[in-house]
Structure formats: structure tokens, C-alpha cells
Amino acid sequence: MSVIDKPSSGTAMDKASPGKPPGTRFRLSFPYFLIVPVIAIVIWETASRLELLPAMLFPSVGTIVTTALDTLTGWWGTADWYSGVWYVHALASAKRVIIGYFLGGVSGIVIGTIAGMFGLFHKMLDPSLQLLRPIPIVAWIPLAIAWFGIEDQPAIFLIALGTFFPTYINARHGIRYVDPVLIRAARMLGYATSWELFTRVVFWSALPNIFTGLRIGLGIAWMCVVTAEMLAVKSGFGYMLWDSFNFLRADLIITGMISIAVVGYATDRLMLLLQHAVMKWER
């Protein structure tokens, strides 16, 4: 009987997880990710208690937490007109992000894929897109309002525009620079047509780049929606920030900023889960 066919002795060391010593399978690691937030909170609270700035402009951590909870629950009324209406503004911003992100992401992937597959199309289109790409999203606001009026349309346009460029660039790069070895191997296996090569090799090889562009675009989408909501709409986190600034409510401003950070982080984690579910070979 060969060594490969020989049955295992069944010792504890053999049954332990590979690369891990026995007894460490369920050990919890130290939450290092909490170190920076805790330090930041301590520094903020210390500065607030030293009254380096007026309490109206530099509220304590306790005030911020109370205001944030009040926007969620409406129990204390300390958030005034934003008491208990956090969900209204969260849903308003999320709706604009979802629509604009879908439009910008899909168009970026499609056009980037075509530019990556066809060199002539890339030469015709890419220089013009690279010329437009450095223009800040803020610079598009006057035209967006002039073209689409107020309400949701300008915000959706700005989100789609901001999402388009990173998804386009990453999709084009992923398609254009597929490993030639993979193409030759696929042809040796009998995949001869361009469509077969694209669906079997090129697209899946470019998928990591595409998801990278989608994740970058998602972060830009949340930045764009806040910028657009400051001027063109009457709801959402951006409107909440600007309206709170007009009344010098720093606690509400920080609550809005924290809300954007939490919701943006949550959507990024969802995108990461989707990436892991689709790209099973990278687990």
C-alpha cells in the first residue's frame, strides 16, 4: 500500500486545522479595528471638555450620541425638526444612489468592455472621456439643475456621471489586459470564436477589475449624492448637512456625516459579499 493510500492514524495533530496549532481553532482575535475610533473619540471628548471651541461648534461625544439616537427614535426631541426622521432622509439618499449607481455602473461596464475588446472604438472614444474625467462633479451642478430642474433628476445624473468613470476605466483595463496565456489555452481547448473566448475567458478574467471599479464607483456615488442634495433637493443626508449648517447645529452635521459613513460602509460590504459570491474561485 502506498503512502497516499495509507489511512490516517487519526491523531489530534492530524485532525487539527492546517497551519494552525491545536486548540486555536475558535480563538477570537483582538479587535484592532477599534483602536483608531476609540483614540479619536477620546481626543474629541478631551478637546470638547477643554472648550477649545464653543460647545455649539464643537459638541461633546455625549451630545452627538444623543442627537444621533434622537434622529433614529425621536425619544428626546433634541434633534428638533430631524427628530425621528432619519429613515426618511436615509431612504431618499439611498434611492438616488441606487438609480444613479445602476445607470453609471452598467454604462461604464458596457462601454469599458467594448473599448477593451475593440481597439478602434477605444481610440475614438477614450481621449474624449479622459478629457471629461478631471472635471469635478461640483462643476456639473449648474448644468445639471439647468437641464433637469430640481428634485431627484440632477442628483441621479451627477451620481451616474461620478460612477461611470471608475467603472469604465477598470472594465476597459481588465478586458484589454487579459493574460494572453489564458487566451492561448482556451483556443487549445477548442474555444475558437471571439464570443466563446469572451464569455469563457476574457470576462471572467476581467471580473476582479470590474468589481474594483464598482466598489470605487459606489464610494463616489455617496459623495456625489451629498453634493447634489445640498442644492437641488429638500431631503437626504446632503440636505440634512446643509440645513443643519444654516442653523449652526454641529451635532446634527456630525450625525449626518456619521450616517453617510455607516450607510456607505454597509453598501460597500454588500458589494464585497456579492463579489465573493460571484468570484468563488478567489475564496
The residue extents of the domains of the chain are 87-282
Q: Which amino acid is at 83?
A: S
Measured CA to CA, the distance from residue 95 to residue 227 in angstroms comes to 15
Measured CA to CA, the distance from residue 246 to residue 230 in angstroms comes to 11
By the 8 A CB rule, do 225 and 151 touch? no
Per-position pLDDT tens, the chain of length 283: 333 333 444 444 444 445 555 544 556 688 888 999 999 999 999 999 998 888 889 999 999 999 999 999 989 888 889 999 999 999 999 999 999 999 999 999 999 999 999 999 999 999 999 999 999 999 999 999 899 988 899 999 999 999 999 999 999 999 999 988 888 888 888 887 888 888 888 999 999 999 999 999 999 999 999 888 987 788 999 999 999 999 999 999 999 999 999 999 999 999 999 999 998 877 6
pTM of the model: 0.84
CATH number for the segment(s) 87-282: 1.10.3720.10
